[in-house]
Structure 1
Amino acid sequence: MVSYLVLCTVMKKRVLIITYYWPPSGGSGVQRWLKFAKYLPEAGWEPVIFTPENPDFDLKDTSLEGEISTDLEVMKFPIWEPYQLLDRIRGKKESHPGRVMEQKEHGYIEKAAIWLRANLTVPDPRVFWVKPSVKFLTELVEKGQFHAIITTGPPHSMHLIGRDLKRKTNIFWLADFRDPWSQWEFLDKLPMQNRVREKHRKMEQEVLSEADLVTTISPTFQLDLERLSNRKINLITNGFDDSDIPQGFSVGEKKAGSLHLVYSGIIDSIRNPMPLLKAMREEFSKEKGEVKFTFVGRVSDHVREEIASDSWLSEHVNFAGYVSHQEVFEFYKNADALALILTNTKNAKGNIPGKLFEYMATTLPILALGDPEGDSAKILEESGAGKVLAHSAHVAIQVGLRKLFERSGEAEPATGIEQYCRKNLSFQLANLLDEHSLS
């Protein structure tokens, strides 16, 4: 009789990854599971992606499609989202929740859309994808196509697909939280009724209690979810991919008396760079040396307008716009230091953006605004890569800028960064699956 161990080595261990964000989606939401899918095969697991065929992405980066292995099976299934209907009514492509929420003034249609999103599409507008997806996937799961399934949210509707598949088939299920759910700061921005908030909590508890494993990205989110669920939550942070760094990439040797700060990513209603920019203006407005700040990515209209109204800032701040992930490294190469704008909200302590680890891999010093006691601050402090200052620490921000201005010589690499390599993190995930799904 062939042993179970031998059968496991012969059979392919297949895991179905259910994710809304997938190339050509851009931004941080796609990176985590794109990289896991890339390296899981080396750890003994064959990933299969299940993702919408026609999603409403806020950011697109077609260059990421080049990272998808030709051996990777990607199943795309049609999705209907209410924003598609709203776009047709309004006659323009601006109904994505992020864009609507950032508008200064809302018309009747926008106000209605926000109220409907808050109270009728629970947990989010992708909820209409749940039932058809479960119906489509149930047969595949029942036929033994997969040893495990993984859902990643937000959008947290993906977890409802996992919950229903678990209930129907008893497949092993891992739920991955990239952000909180009922405690998520985004929900606080919505005109949500109390009964709807309670519905979020009920769904969240079902996911937390019925999933076989739960993972999240930061120690703070880990502790918060453990308090909510009274169970063990596993931590697997985001990271950086060595292969993303262009061959021969290096930053130049800095000369004292100039400063070029670069910020890569999104600036929106919960990421405010103005305390850093105002401190920069006050510290260097009479300085003879060259000082400039470059935003690489989408910047909210509110911040753009505030910068434009200030003569010194408008002269020293550049907007490069959204560029592909690979093009970002050209901006890193020409920077003297990197700026990191973390959130200043109730979830700020657990805010560890994916780009933090890529920042560290460049060897450039990092100046961040955020929670000085938060998870990002601890990572930067332990690695010696930089420092997190409170948004209100105006003098400390000026001192930090002055030190960067006067710094000279080669940048020093961060210590202990190997633990955040995407390949190592993928092996952590595979070990969890091996330990729990095959036992």
Structure 2
Amino acid sequence: MVKRVLMIAYHYPPMSGGSGIHRTLAFTRYLPQHGWQPLVLTVHPRAYEDIGAEDDPPHVPVHRSFALDSSRHLALRGRYLELLAQPDRWISWWLGAVPAGLRLIRKYRPDAIWSSYPIATAHLIALSLHRLSGIPWIADQRDPMVDTGYPPDPRRRRIHGWIEQQAMRQAAAVVCATPGALQRLGQRHGCANAQRLVLIENGYDESSFIDAETAPAPATSPNGPFTLLHSGVIYPSERDPGPLFAALAKLRNEGRLAPSDFRLRLRASAHDDHLRALMQRHPGAADLVELAPPLPHREALAEMLGADGLLLLQAANCNDQIPAKLYEYLRADRPLLALADAAGDTAAALRHAGIHTIGQLDNASDIAAQLMRFLQLCRTKQAPRAAPSLILSHSRAARTRQLAALLDRASAQEPT
């Protein structure tokens, strides 16, 4: 018997960019294989700043309800009331989504409700629909809603804390994407509530990689420099490349690296101006760094598959998080250099995969040493790779199997 789940997600096509899209999209794609039919409740496309070309998955009913972005639609001379952006800039979505969700519940009679953070309004919508219908709710928290100094605005931090508390009390399960986030949430809410916590990590979509294998990758020369690729956003704080640029400048000035034999390509950083300013502080680094524009996801994966090496960045202030691209990097099966805190979840996941080419993101001397070691391992074809069986365990299809089992358990509970 096919069951239905109402999935409330801000990140959904035609929005462009964001790992949240790929997580939700994969769940909607693979859940039918496990006896669950998704119904998606998302925002009207006007709420998105960037629109992409990717279509909705076939055979998935998608309802787009009223939603505005306060910073663009409710601002006067670039300013808007703070109240119109609590818990986030899309709080107006709640006004349209709750009535729309009730109509969908009456029409389709779903067996479960699922909502996805980091747009906190999605959890508010799910909480409201759960209270009004009694249908079991699963909160896909992914990363922490509240942390030390996050959100920076005290009022928003209090509201986020209240939403998190409601999820821990009323949701059938709260899902985190990393062990650290799971542990932190359990510590905040006590052992009794911690029984609701479930780990479902991010992953890669095998169908996207199969498609990418036929896509054209950026042209490279077989006799060109070794290209180390970082694909995706470089947050100034959470993935600060300043020490990396200092290390590159040192190696360049010492003659140990040259543009003819090494190239760091930063693809779709979203902060190119900031990176240019950083490079100006480290003369010599700019000779070795290429800032490259965004690519469609299919072509970005094709570039990963053809890169000489892949670079991962994650600062210590994100020790409870793992970049979603880590799983795509593992699937690309290219040599991988990570600059991350040794005590964090990112480094732990890499060590579990057998990847030991890890340096400290905040230490230029260590970066220089680890980069030269990494290049030597690549030249001698000794760079570590993850085992195929472990890579397969990180597929989105495997993650969806976990979610389907969780939905089965939640829907079997007595209605509240």
Do Structure 1 and Structure 2 share a fold, with TM-score over 0.5?
A: yes
Write the deviation string for residues 68-106 of structure 1: whole angstroms up to 9, x where unpaired. Answer: 33211111112122112356x44xxxxxxxxxxxxxxxx
- Separation (CA, whole Å) in 2 of partners of 1:422 and 1:219: 18
- Separation (CA, whole Å) in 2 of partners of 1:146 and 1:227: 32
1:81 aligned residue: 69
- Separation (CA, whole Å) in 2 of partners of 1:60 and 1:322: 14
Return 323-332 or 350-359, whichever deviates more.
323-332
- Separation (CA, whole Å) in 2 of partners of 1:333 and 1:175: 34
User: Cα offset for 1:140?
Assistant: 2.8
- Count of matched residue positions in the alignment of Structure 1 and Structure 2: 395
User: Cα offset for 1:330?
Assistant: 3.6
Provide the identity percentage: 28
User: Cα offset for 1:315?
Assistant: 2.5
Question: What pairs with 1:217-296 in structure 2 (closer than 5 Å)?
Answer: 217-230=177-190, 231=193, 232=195, 233-245=197-209, 246-247=212-213, 259-270=226-237, 271-285=239-253, 286-287=255-256, 288=258, 290-296=261-267
Question: What pairs with 1:265-414 in structure 2 (closer than 5 Å)?
Answer: 265-270=232-237, 271-285=239-253, 286-287=255-256, 288=258, 290-300=261-271, 301-308=273-280, 310-345=282-317, 348-406=318-376, 407-408=378-379, 410=381, 413-414=385-386
- Aligned with 2:132 (options 168, 176, 179): 168
User: Cα offset for 1:405?
Assistant: 2.2
User: Cα offset for 1:59?
Assistant: 4.7
2:37 aligned residue: 46
- Separation (CA, whole Å) in 2 of partners of 1:201 and 1:149: 21
SS of 1:275 mapped into structure 2: helix
Write the deviation string for residues 406-430 of structure 1: whole angstroms up to 9, x where unpaired. Answer: 2325565412122111111101110
- CA pair 60-374 structure 1, distance change in 2 beyond 3 A: farther
2:118 aligned residue: 154
Amino acid of the structure 2 residue aligned with 1:52? V
Amino acid of the structure 2 residue aligned with 1:298? S
- Separation (CA, whole Å) in 2 of partners of 1:18 and 1:162: 7
- CA pair 124-250 structure 1, distance change in 2 beyond 3 A: closer
User: Cα offset for 1:349?
Assistant: 1.2
Asked whether 1:210 is paired with 2:174, we answer no
- Separation (CA, whole Å) in 2 of partners of 1:372 and 1:384: 14
User: Cα offset for 1:229?
Assistant: 2.8
- The answer on whether the counterparts of 1:337 and 1:366 sit within 8 Å (CA) in structure 2 is yes
User: Cα offset for 1:31?
Assistant: 1.1
SS of 1:414 mapped into structure 2: coil
2:402 aligned residue: 428
- The answer on whether the counterparts of 1:51 and 1:75 sit within 8 Å (CA) in structure 2 is yes
User: Cα offset for 1:250?
Assistant: 12
- CA pair 34-142 structure 1, distance change in 2 beyond 3 A: same
SS of 1:23 mapped into structure 2: coil
1:97 aligned residue: none
Amino acid of the structure 1 residue aligned with 2:233? I
Return 298-307 or 318-327, whichever deviates more.
298-307
- Separation (CA, whole Å) in 2 of partners of 1:179 and 1:206: 16
- Separation (CA, whole Å) in 2 of partners of 1:137 and 1:38: 21
Write the deviation string for residues 293-331 of structure 1: whole angstroms up to 9, x where unpaired. Answer: 111113312222222565522222112111111111342
Please tell me the root mean square deviation across aligned C-alpha atoms, in Å: 2.7
User: Cα offset for 1:122?
Assistant: 2.1
SS of 2:379 mapped into structure 1: coil
Write the deviation string for residues 136-185 of structure 1: whole angstroms up to 9, x where unpaired. Answer: 21133245521111010111111011111111110111001122112275
1:102 aligned residue: none
SS of 1:181 mapped into structure 2: coil
Asked whether 1:418 is paired with 2:389, we answer no
Return 410-419 or 351-360, whichever deviates more.
410-419
- CA pair 396-336 structure 1, distance change in 2 beyond 3 A: same
SS of 1:261 mapped into structure 2: strand
- Separation (CA, whole Å) in 1 of partners of 2:49 and 2:370: 34
TM-score by length of 2: 0.87
Write the deviation string for residues 222-281 of structure 1: whole angstroms up to 9, x where unpaired. Answer: 111122233220000000111111337999xx9999532110111233221121222122
- The answer on whether the counterparts of 2:113 and 2:136 sit within 8 Å (CA) in structure 1 is yes
- Separation (CA, whole Å) in 2 of partners of 1:132 and 1:353: 32
- Aligned with 2:9 (options 19, 32, 54): 19
- The answer on whether the counterparts of 2:91 and 2:121 sit within 8 Å (CA) in structure 1 is yes
Amino acid of the structure 2 residue aligned with 1:221? A
- Separation (CA, whole Å) in 2 of partners of 1:197 and 1:242: 37
- Separation (CA, whole Å) in 1 of partners of 2:277 and 2:117: 33
- CA pair 61-143 structure 1, distance change in 2 beyond 3 A: closer
- The answer on whether the counterparts of 1:256 and 1:405 sit within 8 Å (CA) in structure 2 is no
